[in-house]
Structure 1
Amino acid sequence: MEIGISTFLETTPDPVTGKVISHAERLREAVEEIVLADQVGLDVYGIGEHHRADYAGSAPAVVLAAAAAMTKNIRLTSAVTVLSSDDPVRVYQAFSTLDGISNGRAEIMAGRGSFIESFPLFGYSLDDYNELFEEKLELLLAIRASEKVTWRGGHRPAIDNLPVYPRAVQDPLPVWIATGGNPESAIRAGTLGLPVAFAIIGGMPERFAPLVKLYKEAAASAGHNPDKLQIATHSHGFVGETTEQAAALFYPSTQAQMNVIGRERGWGQTYNRATYDDARSLRGALYVGDSEYVAEKIILLHKNLGVTRFFLHVNVGTMPHREVLRAIELLGTKVAPIVRQELARG
């Protein structure tokens, strides 16, 4: 089982001091995090694409490339690329370039995006939300399958037998489908034989079992071996020296950011300590605690969903960088070995 980090490169106000770090500082911190994650034996680091003031990750491939030459083993992925509002040619070129720099460690996690800022920014209508993703995913997969591409669609100029360079080191360049729990997305990923990543940030992770079943059934129906497909999850969390310390450190920034998003989306419920503590329970979606407790939750996740990759989203909102680095260190040196040892026992 692969274990790694995901981030949106948050630049939210510090919940204690009110200070806001610059985008440039957060980008430099991310490179430092990737290098450390590689050194402590984590498998993957993913950066989510956003186009708003409180996130610095509008160009994940560029940040990942900055760390690629400084790392040796860790896989480098978007988490996610908002494919609906991007050009698949440029997406492939950016990540095939990253693949070359990293000598075959790049991946693309493609999604429709739960944040919509990129659509007006790049001139797309939300009325075409679903159609844009389907069409552009088709083109991206055509590009990775063949050096020369002939393609026509309704939202982008046609391509007539034109080559796309550079070609990726990996053949094919890994493309994942990311979803927040949409059954159609799970079925699409299975039908295409693509690995899938589920964002589980609330409720009980075990409730995603029906989606995993849909995914595997769709894969089998399309002639793919479901046992060979990868399933990832992405969840918020933090690893500390003790569970009490981890809970105390992670709560202020999480509360602040979840309430910002809640107001934007009209959730109508304030995120409070009771909500937080409930989510930290063994069957909850927050992976917050000491190394043994976080490992126990990941092992339970594997048992319930059969996941082959786990992303711990550190951090939600702004936290002291030294604390984030320590959490990454603990995830790699303490949590991951416990999980791997337990799963190796069968």
Structure 2
Amino acid sequence: MTFEIGIMTFGEVTKDPATGRLPSPRQRVRETIEQAKVADEVGLDVFGVGEHHRSDFVGSAPTILLAAAAEATEHIRLTSSVTVLGSEDPVRVWEQFATIDLLSGGRAEIIAGRGSYTESFPLFGYDLRDYAELFREKLDLLLKIREQNPLTWSGRFRAPLVDADIAPRADGDPIPIWVGVGGSPASAISTGRLGLPMALALLLGPVTFHEQTVELYRASAERAGHDPAALPISINTHGYVGRTTREARETMYPYFALGMAENNHQRGAGFPLSRAAFDAQASPGSGLLVGSPQEVIDKLLTYHELYGVSRAIIQMGFGGMPQKEHLKAIERLGTEVAPVVRREAAVPARRTA
């Protein structure tokens, strides 16, 4: 299994802490497509756009951005990161991603998640008390849409489907559907039972944060009759690739800290992050993928050894990092980090959770 490396963005619109300038939504949208283009040119494997429904993000319609990226790229896979499935219509999700698959020649993917940000639920008329059940039912429908057409189906949260013709279909192979998991044991167990690929999200914490998550996932998959070794796992986290350790940290910190304070306020008034705390999170034993190319290589291989992951998607530029620095990091990731990790991770992992 080839190790895949990619990038993702939520297109946050944040005032630059150095200049005080606030980028326009139009600027951030165009920069998003440029990031996909550069990632494709330097040989990265995956480009993802996340979903938020607030004015400090431009990612409220990720499928439109991914469709534009499909026309600007040739090889890179195009995924959501994540689709907040509980507040979406699975029929419409399928139609949109199948269209991206046709535009891109079979490069579309879906990462379906419950969503740690919940502003989309009241926006689209859903009750947060149904949060978990909405996701379970809608994932069931999305998987059945992928499996068969026409489809007859019924559930609690939408009108039944009777011999429904749901089109278009995928370009060739089935569209991969991953499940985004933030650490909930129940999520890991249900994802393993379904035999679906798992995308692990790690915001802050030790590099070992998801050991139990992976153990529960693989055990559940095996009990359900799936081969755990055949199920892909990815790690999705923040990072930045600089020329040196110092450059990487100095470049990333002010923007990342601002993003945590200004954009990461789902549960309250933001998250203050001191420089000392950031440096601790950038250390070898913690989760952030920030440092020199060699440091990022070493930590990616650590994730591979710990969890047996075969994919990493890094959110670089969080907090409105200027495009120039962001693109430099994408280039280093593709030209200096990815080739080494692919080579070193080509052998089976030495230890798996």
Which of 31, 34, 40 is matched with 2:33 structurally?
31
Deviation at 1:261, TM superposition (A): 5.3
Which one-letter code corresponds to 1:341 in the other structure?
Answer: R
CA distance in 2, matches of 1:45, 1:37: 7
TM-score relative to the length of structure 1: 0.97
Unpaired runs of 5+ residues, structure 2, are: 349-353
| Structure 2 counterpart of 1:257 | 259
Which of 91, 116, 122 is matched with 2:124 structurally?
122
Deviation at 1:21, TM superposition (A): 0.9
2:245 is equivalent to residue 243 of structure 1: yes
1:235 match: secondary structure:
strand
Which of 147, 151, 154 is matched with 2:153 structurally?
151
Which of 47, 54, 58 is matched with 1:56 structurally?
58
Identity of aligned residues (%): 49
Which of 294, 312, 315 is matched with 1:313 structurally?
315
CA distance in 1, matches of 2:265, 2:40: 36
2:260 match: secondary structure:
helix
Unpaired runs of 5+ residues, structure 1, are: none
Mapped contact 1:262–1:270 kept (Cα < 8 A): no
CA distance in 2, matches of 1:213, 1:192: 15
Deviation larger for 63-72 or 121-130:
63-72
Which of 53, 69, 72 is matched with 2:71 structurally?
69
Mapped contact 2:85–2:135 kept (Cα < 8 A): yes
Cα root mean square deviation, aligned: 1.4
CA distance in 1, matches of 2:219, 2:257: 38
Which of 227, 232, 235 is matched with 1:233 structurally?
235
2:72 match: secondary structure:
coil
TM-score relative to the length of structure 2: 0.95
How is 1:1-346 mapped onto 2 (pairs within 5 angstroms)? 1-260=3-262, 264-266=266-268, 270-344=272-346
CA distance in 2, matches of 1:339, 1:279: 21
CA distance in 1, matches of 2:100, 2:83: 14
Which one-letter code corresponds to 1:11 in the other structure?
Answer: V
The superposition leaves residues 57-97 of structure 1 with CA deviations (integer Å, 9 ceiling, x where unpaired) of 11111111112123221100000000000100000000000
CA distance in 2, matches of 1:48, 1:78: 6
The superposition leaves residues 264-320 of structure 1 with CA deviations (integer Å, 9 ceiling, x where unpaired) of 524896310011000000011111111111111111111111101001111211011
Instruction: Name the count of aligned residue pairs.
Output: 346
CA distance in 2, matches of 1:262, 1:41: 30
The superposition leaves residues 200-249 of structure 1 with CA deviations (integer Å, 9 ceiling, x where unpaired) of 11111212111111111111111111111100111100011111111001
Deviation larger for 255-264 or 330-339:
255-264
2:238 match: secondary structure:
strand
CA distance in 2, matches of 1:122, 1:285: 34
CA distance in 2, matches of 1:118, 1:271: 27
Mapped contact 1:294–1:335 kept (Cα < 8 A): yes
Cα distance change of structure 1 residues 264 and 219 upon mapping to structure 2, 3 Å threshold? closer
Which one-letter code corresponds to 1:252 in the other structure?
Answer: P
Cα distance change of structure 1 residues 115 and 295 upon mapping to structure 2, 3 Å threshold? same
